[in-house]
Amino acid sequence: MKLAFSTLGVPGLPVPEVLALAAEHGYHGVELRAHPKEPVHPGLGAAERADVAAAFRAAGTEIVGLASDTRVAAPGDDAPVLDELGALLGLAHDLGAPFLRVFPGAAPGQSRDEADAVAARRLGTAAEQASALDVRILLETHDSHPTGADVIRVLGPVGHRQVGAVWDVMHTWLGGEQPSESYAALSPFLGYVRVKDIASADDTAPLPLGAGVLPLTECVDVLSRQGWEGWLCWEYERRPAESSPSLAELLDAGRDHLGRLLSDAA
Q: Is 159 left (phi over 0), alpha (psi -120 to 50) or beta?
A: left
What is the per-residue DSSP string for the chain? -EEEEEGGGSTT--HHHHHHHHHHHT-SEEEEE--TTSSS-TT--HHHHHHHHHHHHHHT-EEEEEEEEEETT-SS-HHHHHHHHHHHHHHHHHHT-SEEEEE--PPTT--HHHHHHHHHHHHHHHHHHHHHHT-EEEEESBTTB-SHHHHHHHHHHH--TTEEEEEEHHHHHHTT--HHHHHHHHGGGEEEEEE--EEETTEEEE--TTSSSS-HHHHHHHHHHTT--SEEEE-----TT--SPPHHHHHHHHHHHHHHHHHHH-
User: pLDDT tens digits, residue range 115-169?
Assistant: 999 999 999 999 999 999 999 999 999 999 999 999 999 999 999 999 999 999 9
Q: Is the pLDDT of residue 243 over 90?
A: no
Q: Is the pLDDT of residue 241 over 70?
A: no
pLDDT attached to residue 244: 81
| C-beta neighbour count of 57 within 10 angstroms | 12
All structural domains of the chain? 2-265 (3.20.20.150)
Name, in order, each residue with C-beta under 8 angstroms of 91's C-beta and a sequence gap of 6 or more.
34, 40, 41, 42, 44, 49, 66, 97
Q: Is the pLDDT of residue 204 over 90?
A: yes
pLDDT attached to residue 237: 85
Q: What spatial distance separates the first Cα and last Cα of the chain, rounded to whole Å?
A: 11
The average confidence (pLDDT) of the chain is 96
Angstrom distance (rounded) from CA 263 to CA 220? 10
User: pLDDT tens digits, residue range 23-59?
Assistant: 999 999 999 999 999 999 999 999 999 999 999 999 9
Q: What angle do CA 127, 133, 137 make, to 5 degrees?
A: 40
User: pLDDT tens digits, residue range 70-100?
Assistant: 999 999 999 999 999 999 999 999 999 999 9
Angstrom distance (rounded) from CA 137 to CA 73? 14
Q: How confident is the model at residue 192 (pLDDT cuts 50, 70, 90)?
A: very high
pTM above 0.95, yes or no: yes
Q: Is the pLDDT of residue 227 over 90?
A: yes
pLDDT attached to residue 242: 67
